[in-house]
Amino acid sequence: MIDAVAGSPKPGPRTVSPTVETVLGFVNTRADGTGRRELFGDGESFAAWLAERDEFDGEAVATDADAAVARELRDALVTVLLAHSGDEESLGEPLLRAERHLRRVGSLYPLAPAVTAGGVELTSPQTGVPRVFGTVLAAVTTFAQSGDWGRIKACRNPPCHFGFLDRTRNGGGLYCSTGCGSQVSMRKHRQRQRHGGAAPSEA
């Protein structure tokens, strides 16, 4: 369950779409300075994570190379989500590299429409781990088509960068929690004190 959605209490399954759950579940697997551990460190840990995710049908066979591909895809998505938050360090060349990588990934793991009387769903026609990456791309594409792609963000507080769904009315959320926002405010306050009151650039 996602535990960080800006402007909202902890969401339940009825308040967050499955596509958002898939995207955030995938990007929020990084280690950081807050105590979260790396979940894609090797094939074994990647397989263990897959086994716990229903959308991947318990896919649990993965190699160290698969885990490396997963980390690259995840990190490219995190860079895009940081850009959604206006994080200056992710803009420019880092964002261009991430977007180029995502285009390459999209060509390697193509999607297919599944058409029924009830509607159309994007799916991955592949099997095994390639299907996992296709499923993530399908979730990204489906949510982006809703027009709210820019509301999936990564927290601007380094080293957190936790992915969250911005539920603020104006879409101006920058941090995954009030705690992260407070940490940034405190750092800026200390920087102003060190620089004699001059306002530093935003973290």
Residue type, 136: V
For residues 137 and 105, is the Cβ–Cβ distance under 8 A? yes
For residues 144 and 138, is the Cβ–Cβ distance under 8 A? no
pLDDT class for 11, splitting at 50, 70, 90?
very low
pLDDT tens-digit series, residues 157-200: 888 899 999 999 888 888 887 778 777 767 665 666 666 655 55
Selection from 59, 54, 28 nearest residue 43 by Cα: 59
75 or 188: which leads in pLDDT: 75
Distance of CA 110 to the CA centre of its chain: 20
54 vs 67: CA distance, rounded Å? 19
pLDDT class for 61, splitting at 50, 70, 90?
confident
Cα angle 12, 18, 19 (rounded to 5 degrees) comes to 130
